[in-house]
Structure 1
């Protein structure tokens, strides 16, 4: 009897122990799953960086070791695209998950534009915020501020980034070559004084500040002809538009990237104990290229090359900061660019004269502003230590897909009608699938669509070449059809050989574009 009781007791203890192990395992798996689903996310978004500007994408005249390290340890995508060949529409798509042609007024914005991001719809930062993240933007914005063009720059500026999902914002309003040349932190211009009010106009000259058109002797960087960079001179550089006042609020070009980097590092440090999303929107290598002293002359490719070296250094500094804070293993870094490259975009900065065999577009045709591949095919690297394996992927993906993909990662299950054109490409982004989009619509010098290996560029009137920028726009009165699988450089127009394919893609594109009418 005692033996039977002892045996039963032993069995009960064993069962209890097994149940305990099962419970502990389930708990650990749950915790591990939760940790995996709430990584920090940093998007580093370069400005006018080309497909061939990085050594990990084939550049031989310039070395980018920090970005190369990101790529070597993550997924480097070779068929990734912005939705447009210019900055504002690309950034609109990234923020909203919608093609920019669905909304009027999403072209390149002046510095005094009103906000074009809806405040009552889902945005990328709002998605993270709903998932419990602290969200921040540091860097270039260029999506408008306020309800109208007319605004008081000396008072709080809203709506802006903070009203579309960012808990913290430290930005400049548009681009470095446009006024106002000021920092705006959480809706307030830093350094603004009531006794020196800021005024901005894109219609006429205001105030007494000298302008580049009449005082070229004051310029430390000469403007190229007919690019429009002959407005108010700030820091020895002529800008687009006119500005008066805000003398103490105006930033110095050489310090802008360093200021943005320090603000980004501070945001990471302040939020290291909770999941955060940081949109780090750097300025390099957009004009005016005025690299800090430490990088000037280092690339032997003029100021544009120096700016790329500075960009690579800042990426390395972000990586160091994450390691210092002990959060590098649970942080996803996404690196990309808003559109393709351009050499002469308004200033004589030796980007052309010191090109020295460097091809910012790599094997692609076109560049910024162009319907050809170099206008929208951009570097895209996704790095997540311990969670994704190194890989080179040719899956067709777009930045418009970020919302749907992070929606999947975060388990938010928000319906797709909140981000109409965004598709869940998460498995492709992290290298677990070789399959990406079936179709992608893009806009540059003309509208185009990629479907499978075929690319169709819609026929339309316009200049086929812009001599000022030395860029083929891709615009033609004849339809263009390219087999990107065999002809990534878009050399052979196959439209006459495959008329049925042209009709198919033309019909598809016309039906889609009718949505905007």
Structure 2
């Protein structure tokens, strides 16, 4: 080999290494992507982040093999808005996205391109298994036939869904937008406005309940649980709450098996640890915290089962697994399971203030782990990141250019997600019935004209963070957001107010 040939070969090897590090891959080398999206899991609810009273060995192993992010966020402190932003790359306030009922229409415009749409363009097969809660149909859904629009119309090739949440009617699974196991002679009717005959009602038959609940959840009773809304029919299709983690994991693993020969994207959207927290007998007393701790252990089992399946089909090294949650933790969200009384020394939000429904930091600062053994070096990252950025970041990873109008608020931070950049975002928006903004260690909370906590939030023992004056905190020295330093740092305050105003005014 001549010196010239050696130099050219060396240059080619360097180029291949450099481009693969930046995430530019050939079709054959594209990683599978598994997004494990837990519900209501707080930053401190996993072992690697300091959980007390429950063990999460599978999640901890995932962290040991990848990057554990300390400052990664959902876009909102509630579930539907976070899911909307994740899949569209757009802040939820732009579509007035809020928590929806089980009979709500699909809130994603079918003409809007989504994360799964983009990955399909890159050659991926796409699937969603688990909690949906983004609406289905056109608002007049007939649950006895195919309900559309739904996941297929927004980019998913396959779907197996909990239509809304476990605490909302209808309590049936849907596979590819049809109710699973439905008897045509026993059709389903759903209402969120008036009682329906058929299943007993929580207000009338409290003696039938496995867990007592607040007034909001005293609708139709199925499997001993009173839900929001009313339903009749569909008895053969009803899920059993205790079996949900096994049913969902089975379907997720079947999707992996079926698509193991070509690149796939799996959105595995767990119901745990959302209320009602009904642990399978396998996990009862798996923690010292009662049902909430037990379903954390149950969630961890699901993660382990997925990782084991990836190993079985020899995809564990070339699969990017993203583990995170949709919003902050909540102890009392309507069902009486003694989570507040049994929490002990455990801190669901870690060292941070706030919860689900709150603009304080724990409302959106999520446990977040990214593992990809063949590409990501294990460690910890303090990069400031938002789930809204997964759209643009994964597009960069798989070599897709965003089209005009796509993912309006999504920024490409693939190097941060891979551990190559330690900074991440300049500004990060937090939505929670008001707005918060992060800039480095600074946190700004927009004031409100009326700072009174709504009674429905107060009933959940949550401080939403409302104030009639601007709030500014330095999280490096004050992670619990106790000392408002707005008057001391007027320049920082002004800069952040302007940045937030610019975001909110963009069309």
Normalising by structure 2, we get a TM-score of 0.94
Kept in 2: contact 1:102–1:515 (CA 8 A): no
1:234 maps to: 222
Residues 37 and 410 of structure 1 are in contact (CA less than 8 Å); yes or no, is this contact kept in structure 2? no
In the aligned structure 2, how far is the partner of 1:331 from the partner of 1:260? 20
For 2:478, which of 471, 477, 487 is the aligned residue? 487
- Bigger drift between 206-215 and 280-289 goes to 206-215
Q: Which residue does the alignment assign to 2:256?
A: 268
Q: Contact 1:139 / 1:260 at 8 angstroms: preserved in 2?
A: yes
| Residue deviations 1:93-112 (CA, integer Å, cap 9, x gap) | 000000001112x1000000
Taking the aligned partners of 2:442 and 2:194, their CA distance within structure 1 comes to 46
Q: Which residue of 2 aligns with 1:356?
A: 344
CA deviation after TM superposition for structure 1 residue 491, in Å: 1.3
For residues 261 and 487 of structure 1, the distance between their equivalents in structure 2, rounded to whole angstroms, comes to: 40
* 8 Å Cα contact 1:464-1:476 kept in structure 2: no
Equivalent of residue 176 in structure 1, options 166, 169, 174? 166
- Kindly indicate whether residue 204 of structure 2 is the aligned counterpart of residue 214 of structure 1: yes
Q: Distance in 2 between matches of 1:216 and 1:196?
A: 26
> In the alignment, which residue of structure 1 is the partner of 2:119?
128
Q: Residue 66 of structure 1 aligns with which residue?
A: 58
Distance 2:351 2:106 in 1: 37
* Distance in structure 2 (CA, Å) of the matches to 1:36 and 1:154: 41
Whole-angstrom distance in 2 between the partners of 1:122 and 1:329: 29
Instruction: Assess if the C-alpha contact under 8 Å between 1:416 and 1:422 holds in 2.
Output: no
CA distance in 2, matches of 1:514, 1:409: 30
Secondary structure at 2:68 match in 1: strand
Q: How far apart, CA to CA, are the structure 1 residues paired with 2:368 and 2:27? A: 25
Do the aligned partners of 2:290 and 2:339 also contact (CA within 8 Å) in 1?
A: yes
Q: Residue 391 of structure 2 is aligned with which of 400, 403, 406? A: 403
Q: Given the alignment, which residue of 75, 83, 86 partners 2:78? A: 86
Question: For residues 139-197 of structure 1, what are the alpha-carbon distances to aligned partners after superposition, in whole Å with 9 as ceiling and x for unaligned?
Answer: 000111112x2211101101100111111000011100000001010011112222111
**What's the CA shift string for 1:93-138, capped at 9, x where partnerless?**
000000001112x100000010111212221111110000111000
C-alpha displacement of 1:416: 6.3
How far residue 456 of structure 1 moved from its aligned partner, in angstroms, is: 1.0
Name the SS for the 1:266 alignment partner: helix
Given that residues 445 and 474 in structure 1 are in contact (C-alpha distance below 8 angstroms), is that contact kept between their aligned partners in structure 2? Answer: no
Match of 1:202 among 177, 192, 195: 192
Match of 2:141 in 1: 151
Quick check: 1:101 aligned with 2:93?
Answer: yes
Q: CA offsets, 1:3-22, max 9 Å, x none?
A: xxxxxxxxxxx67x969x95
Counterpart check, 1:366 vs 2:333: no
**Cα distance between partner residues in 1 of 2:299 and 2:488:** 44
Q: Deviations over 1:456-475 (max 9, x none)?
A: 11111243484321111101
Give yes or no for contact 1:447–1:457 (8 Å, CA) kept in 2: yes
Secondary structure of the 2:392 match is helix
Structure 1 CA distance for aligned equivalents of residues 28 and 167 of structure 2:
41
CA distance in 1, matches of 2:27, 2:314: 15
Which residue number corresponds to residue 48 of structure 2? 56
1:502 aligns with 2:490: no
Q: Distance in 2 between matches of 1:440 and 1:332?
A: 24
> For residues 126 and 151 of structure 1, what CA distance do their matches in structure 2 show?
24
Give the distance between the partners of 1:34 and 1:301, measured in 2 at CA: 48
User: How many Å separate the matches in 2 of 1:498 and 1:435?
Assistant: 23
Displacement after TM superposition at 1:297 (Å): 1.3
Q: State how far apart, in whole Å, the 2-side matches of 1:128 and 1:377 are.
A: 26
Q: Match of 2:363? A: 375
- CA RMSD of the aligned region, Å? 2.3
1:29: Cα distance to partner?
5.2
Kept after mapping to 2: 8 A contact 1:394/1:434: yes
The answer to whether the Cα contact below 8 Å between 1:83 and 1:443 also exists between their aligned partners in 2 is yes
> Please, which of 496, 504, 507 is the counterpart of residue 513 of structure 1?
504
Partner residue, 1:463? 452
Q: 1:507 to 1:29 in 2, by over 3 A?
A: closer
With the length of structure 1 as denominator, give the TM-score of the two structures.
0.92
Please state how far the C-alpha of 1:355 moved relative to its aligned partner. 1.2
Does the 8 A contact of 1:453 with 1:485 survive in 2? yes
Q: Report deviation, 1:257.
A: 1.1
| Contact kept? 2:53, 2:293, Cα under 8 Å | no
Residues 188-337 of structure 1: pairs in structure 2 closer than 5 A: 188-223=178-213, 225-226=214-215, 228-337=216-325
1-side partners of 2:55 and 2:289: how far apart?
12
- Higher alpha-carbon Rg: 1
Gap regions ≥5 residues in structure 2: none
Residue aligned with 1:418, SS: coil
Q: Distance in 1 between matches of 2:320 and 2:365?
A: 22
Q: Which runs of 4+ in 1 moved over 4 A?
A: 28-33
Corresponding residue of 2:442 = 454
Matching residue within 35, 38, 56 for 1:43: 35
SS at match of 2:380: strand
Structure 2 residue aligned with 1:444, among 432, 442, 457?
432
Deviation at 1:277, TM superposition (A): 0.5
Distance 2:498 2:444 in 1: 11
